[in-house]
């Protein structure tokens, strides 16, 4: 629709920006906002995505469209209010996209607000609470787990632990994890088996995995990457090597 109306979609969100939310649901909210912005923007206009200054957990969508009259603003996010109107090219709508988006963001503990005036375009702000990233360390040796926690103390992460792959899968089934650090040689279920299980499960396939092992063998490294590992670190560990790799994925 944007191409047909010759509307430019400008993304100024800095590369590497991370917002912790359900990817499919948050994507649905973003799609609703972009569709509405294009719908109510005249041919040749602009829709911009940006992070507002001082609000790192907020994504905003601004358009150069027709704007919204003041009486309509408080009704936009209510299912019981009929707010649907035709777009600038006669596009129809159901009026359900914004109430649904509001519901999704509220379920994330966040908020959605709008600034607009008739004839001056609109800006929708989607804010979700900042999340302290959760790191799962999977390592059978307690001393090594302790060392990794000490190295990563300055990264301000919530760290949980598991002694083998089976315990790690149980943790992943119970709570959200943003990064998994796993050894390869472990009893009960080793790191390769864990990595394969994580990447085959649709619920955990997006979880990044850093493999940590004493083996520098190229075949071992290649097998880990073939199974879906995002990075590979060899022991003995040192903070100068580990911390930047963790930060690269989480921050």
pLDDT score recorded for residue 89: 45
CB 104 within 8 A of CB 26: yes
Instruction: Report pLDDT digits (tens) over 190-243.
Output: 999 999 999 999 999 999 999 998 888 889 999 999 999 999 999 888 888 899
CB 118 within 8 A of CB 67: yes
125-161 as b/e, with b when 16 or more CB fall inside 10 Å?
A: bbbbeebebbbbbbbbeeebbebbeebbeebebebbb
Q: What is the reported pTM? A: 0.65
Topology given in CATH for the domain delimited by 134-250: Rossmann fold (3.40.50)
pLDDT score recorded for residue 175: 92
Instruction: Report pLDDT digits (tens) over 13-55.
Output: 988 777 878 888 999 999 999 998 888 888 888 999 999 998 8
What are the extents of the domains in the chain?
Answer: 8-127, 134-250
CB 119 within 8 A of CB 62: no
pLDDT score recorded for residue 81: 64
Average pLDDT rounded to a whole number, residues 145-166: 92
pLDDT score recorded for residue 155: 82
What's the half-sphere exposure (Cβ side, CA atoms, 13 Å) at 219? 0
CATH topology agreement for domains 8-127 and 134-250:
no
CATH 3.10.20.30 fits 8-127, yes or no: no
């Amino acid at each position: 629709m944007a191409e047909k109306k010759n509307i430019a979609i400008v993304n100024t969100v800095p590369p590497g920006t991370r917002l912790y939310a359900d990817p499919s649901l948050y994507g649905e909210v973003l799609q609703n906002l972009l569709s509405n912005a294009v719908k109510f923007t005249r041919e040749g206009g602009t829709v911009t995505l940006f992070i507002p200054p001082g609000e790192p957990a907020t994504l905003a969508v601004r358009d150069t469209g027709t704007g919204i009259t003041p009486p309509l603003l408080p009704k936009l996010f209510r299912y019981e209010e009929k707010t649907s109107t035709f777009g600038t090219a006669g596009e129809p709508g159901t009026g359900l996209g914004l109430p649904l988006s509001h519901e999704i963001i509220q379920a994330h503990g966040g908020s959605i607000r709008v600034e607009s005036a008739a004839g001056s375009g609109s800006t929708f702000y989607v804010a979700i609470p900042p999340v302290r990233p959760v790191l799962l360390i999977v390592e059978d040796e307690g001393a090594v787990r302790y060392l990794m926690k000490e190295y990563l103390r300055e990264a301000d992460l919530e760290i949980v632990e598991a002694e083998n792959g089976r315990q790690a899968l149980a943790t992943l089934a119970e709570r959200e994890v943003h990064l998994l650090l796993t050894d390869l040689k472990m009893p009960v279920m080793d790191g390769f088996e864990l990595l394969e299980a994580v990447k085959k499960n649709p619920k955990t396939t997006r979880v990044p995995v850093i493999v940590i092992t004493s083996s520098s063998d190229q075949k071992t490294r290649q097998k880990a990457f073939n199974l879906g590992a995002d990075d590979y670190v060899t022991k003995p560990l040192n903070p100068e090597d580990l911390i930047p790799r963790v930060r690269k994925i989480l921050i």
